Structure 1
Amino acid sequence: MDVGQQLRRLEARLSGEHEEHPPEVVHSFVDEALSRFTGARVSAFVPILVERRVRARMKPSPRPDRVDLPRGQAFALDSPYAEPMSLRTWAWFTAKRLLERELPRRWAHTRGVASTAARIAPLLPLADRQILIASAWLHDIGYAEDLIDTGFHQLDGARFLRREGIPVRVCALVAHHAGAAAVAELRGLAPQLAEFDDERSAVRDALWYSDMTTSPDGDPVVFADRMREIRSRRGPDDPVVRALDVNGDERAAAVRRTEELLWSGARLTAV
């Protein structure tokens, strides 16, 4: 059995032992530990060393921690982990902390969105993958009571992330996800939302796709069914529903572009 197979088995075993951690988080821990042993002379010992580091990292710690971010950014966080975390792991932990108990259905939806984003991420450039996954975990944290300011969850979530020193791309992706600009216009919050740039990229499309093909309970759904569910749940007077007349085509276009990306990835895999 080669090292890659051993590491995948390790991930499966750790995920089974620690059901509180999504497989995506376990995978990120393993990848980060593995990067420390690149070029090791004796590869046979690498899985053992990786497992040791990952288990140490998953061990609860009562002290505040640091989170290492791109470009050397770091900030304090009341984290249960014994070592610094990557951006996407911090994103998972923060979303879990803010949503799991207070808004369990929103947390279920978030987990589904992040799962879809993790499936798309390998089709993106390396630098974009962590940005997408982190944004997926964080996209709805603005619903948490402690973060509510304007009541516009995209904006409240993005402002919180900016205060925490999170990379500006993640803040902006959270701010503009799911056609937020049209909703902001209806709510008189367009100038505030303009604090964040809308990057209009494949990462943005993938985040929108992940959100708009995931039900409130975290299950995969087709885009049309998700739009019908939003209209039914929110009612015709809700700004989100009213904004669909403006941003519905833009939402659909983002979904189509991401589906094309997924199809192209599937074709390459099949070759």
Structure 2
Amino acid sequence: MDEHLRRLEFRLVREHDEVPPSLVHEWIERAWARFRGARVRDFVPLLVERAVRVSARGFSAGLPEPPRTHLSDWARSTTRRLLAGRMARRWAHSAGVARRAEQVARVLVAEEQDLLVAAAWLHDIGYAAELADTGLHSLDGARYLLRAGVPRRVCGLVAYHSGSAAVAEVLGLADELAEFDDDRGRLRDALWYCDMTTSPDGHPTTVENRLAEIRERRGPDDPVVRALEINVDERLAAVRRTHRLLRRATV
């Protein structure tokens, strides 16, 4: 059923290009939750499609949109949809980064806390086969999020997470990445910290072990490893700044 819903979502997004894809996804999930207990299960996809089309017509007519979930809730469901089935290890890493973000968010101002958790969930969605385009996953993920109507600040966090600017430089994609703003500050540092202290399997680790694992897994010719020569100090500095904030918060 999940695969059927993915195909349905893809088709409806194409047919209703005036509606943000994130909203189509939300409508499908809501309709699925409503109808999945139907006595004749073969009719459920049809009922879901009809419900989404009604919502799309209302949106196009300028009627009020249904209530939206927290961005981090949408981010979690979107990441699950894109990664959990075919990229289980990437999904585990993303979930681990999000757990880390929930712990770290307390050092940020209130309006940035949900943004951090959302960006943590979404930071690697550009690896999904249906989103991969340029070879730079952070850029592909950010472009998808921008099309989906996600706030530009979150798109920028995903675009530049964990030193992606250096990877873009290695790949010759710096101009394309410049479509997004690099939000330098505590929020950006916190996302880098969460990513760089979470293993590929989603477990807490040190930044030193994480960097060593990246080098070993990818090999010296990989663009991500080559980028470390450019910005490893920047990554370490972001982790240290966030670590200091966390230590102060516990005093």
CA change 1:124–1:75 in 2 (3 A) is farther
The partner residue of 2:80 within 96, 104, 108 is 96
* Residue of structure 2 equivalent to 1:217: 201
Please state whether the residue corresponding to 1:236 is helix, strand or coil.
coil
Which of structure 1's runs of 4+ aligned residues deviate more than 2 A? 73-84
Asked whether 1:230 is paired with 2:214, we answer: yes
Which has a greater percent of helix? 2
Q: How many residues align?
A: 196
CA change 1:125–1:250 in 2 (3 A) is same
Asked whether 1:177 is paired with 2:126, we answer: no
**Partners in 1 of 2:171 and 2:162 — Cα distance?**
15
Please state whether the residue corresponding to 2:162 is helix, strand or coil.
coil
Query: Deviations 1:230-253 (Å, cap 9, x if unpaired)?
Result: 000000000100110111000000
The partner residue of 1:154 within 134, 138, 151 is 138
Pick 1 or 2: higher relative contact order, CA cutoff 8 A, min separation 6.
Answer: 2
**Partners in 2 of 1:123 and 1:247 — Cα distance?**
25
Cα root mean square deviation, aligned: 1.6
Deviation at 1:226, TM superposition (A): 0.3
The 5 A counterparts of 1:78-157 are 78-81=27-30, 84-157=68-141
- Give the alignment's TM-score, normalised by structure 2: 0.75
Please state whether the residue corresponding to 1:129 is helix, strand or coil.
helix
The partner residue of 2:187 within 191, 203, 210 is 203
**Partners in 2 of 1:180 and 1:168 — Cα distance?**
17
**Partners in 2 of 1:195 and 1:132 — Cα distance?**
21
Deviation at 1:85, TM superposition (A): 1.4
**Partners in 2 of 1:167 and 1:238 — Cα distance?**
31
Deviation at 1:176, TM superposition (A): 0.1
Identify which range, 225-234 or 74-83, moves more after superposition.
74-83
* Residue of structure 2 equivalent to 1:262: 246
**Partners in 2 of 1:77 and 1:86 — Cα distance?**
11
The 5 A counterparts of 1:55-94 are 77-81=26-30, 84-94=68-78
**Partners in 2 of 1:230 and 1:245 — Cα distance?**
13
AA matched with 2:92: A
Deviation at 1:122, TM superposition (A): 1.7
CA change 1:104–1:76 in 2 (3 A) is closer
Please state whether the residue corresponding to 2:103 is helix, strand or coil.
helix
Deviation at 1:86, TM superposition (A): 1.3
**Partners in 2 of 1:241 and 1:203 — Cα distance?**
24
Please state whether the residue corresponding to 1:196 is helix, strand or coil.
coil
AA matched with 2:198: T
Question: Does the CA-based 8 Å contact 1:75-1:164 persist in structure 2?
Answer: no
The answer for unaligned runs of 5 or more in structure 2 is: 1-12, 14-21, 32-66
* Identity percentage of aligned residues: 56
Query: Deviations 1:46-104 (Å, cap 9, x if unpaired)?
Result: xxxxxxxxxxxxxxxxxx9xxxxxxxx96653542466311110000000100000100
**Partners in 1 of 2:184 and 2:104 — Cα distance?**
17
**Partners in 2 of 1:114 and 1:261 — Cα distance?**
18
Query: Deviations 1:241-271 (Å, cap 9, x if unpaired)?
Result: 011011100000000000001101111xxxx
Deviation at 1:210, TM superposition (A): 0.3
**Partners in 2 of 1:75 and 1:127 — Cα distance?**
26
AA matched with 1:224: E
CA change 1:76–1:220 in 2 (3 A) is closer
- Give the alignment's TM-score, normalised by structure 1: 0.70
Query: Deviations 1:179-219 (Å, cap 9, x if unpaired)?
Result: 01111011000000000111111010000000000000001
* Residue of structure 1 equivalent to 2:148: 164
